[in-house]
């Protein structure tokens, strides 16, 4: 008996399908799919959430000094003339940064290896590159999802049957984060 469902696809197609659906489940919180796919998605998603819960507090806060360009009231860089050249003026600023410990960094890289990158596009800028922002889903797992499930031992997802699909009568389900 196989350790996983083949879902009627080649291995590369199956891996791409599962990566896409797990990414969408973690980003949106719920998706509608077939029952067989949902059971496979559940295995992967629960493993990632469990890893995030285990490593959520495994970081240090470090204070660093950074050079930041000084800006005027319009948001443009302030320039001054030095030796006949216009040069930007920089200020030193102290920032506190989260530094992952090695085990959390490894967990983050394992997640990023599996999850697809997400680019969020605002509705008013649809079709344009301006205003888009890249979302790091491993950050979402550590910052938002893991604290929610900190005192829960597994069972992070729920599968609710919707009914048969009209075209081929495959059982459709809603898989969601609890």
Enclosing domain of residue 70: 59-100
As a whole number of angstroms, the distance between CA 155 and CA 142 comes to 17
Least-confidence region, from 19-28, 37-46, 124-133, 138-147 = 124-133
Residues 54 and 117 in one domain: yes
As a whole number of angstroms, the distance between CA 43 and CA 38 comes to 9
Residues 6+ apart with CB under 8 A from 11: none
Instruction: Identify the bridge partners of residue 71 per DSSP, sorted by sequence position.
Output: 77
Q: By the 8 A CB rule, do 76 and 68 touch?
A: no
Flag whether pLDDT at 46 surpasses 90: yes
Give 51: exposed, middle or buried? Use CB within 10 Å, 0-12, 13-18, 19+. buried
Full-model pTM: 0.83
Asked if the structure places residue 73 within a domain, the reply is yes
Q: Please give the tally of structural domains in the chain.
A: 2
- The CATH number given to whatever domain includes residue 17 is 3.90.1030.10
Among 46, 72, 100, where does a domain finish? 100
Block residue for tokens 């491993």: 138
Residues 41 and 63 in one domain: no
pLDDT classification of 117: cutoffs 50, 70, 90? very high
């Amino acid at each position: 008996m196989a350790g996983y469902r083949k879902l009627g696809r080649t291995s590369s197609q199956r891996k791409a399908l599962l990566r896409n659906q797990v990414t969408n489940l973690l980003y949106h919180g719920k998706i509608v799919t077939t029952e067989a796919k949902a059971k496979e998605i559940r295995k992967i998603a629960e493993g990632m959430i469990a890893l995030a819960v285990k490593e959520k507090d495994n970081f240090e806060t470090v204070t660093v000094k950074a050079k930041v360009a000084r800006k005027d009231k319009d948001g443009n860089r302030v320039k001054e003339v030095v030796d006949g050249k216009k040069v930007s003026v920089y200020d030193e600023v102290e920032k506190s940064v989260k530094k992952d410990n090695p085990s959390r960094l490894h967990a983050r890289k394992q997640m990023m290896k599996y999850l697809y990158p997400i680019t969020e596009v605002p509705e008013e800028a649809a079709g344009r590159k301006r205003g888009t922002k890249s979302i790091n889903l491993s950050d979402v797992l550590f910052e938002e999802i893991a604290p929610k499930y900190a005192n829960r031992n597994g069972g992070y997802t729920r599968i609710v049957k919707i009914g048969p699909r009209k075209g081929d009568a495959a059982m459709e389900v809603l898989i969601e984060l609890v």
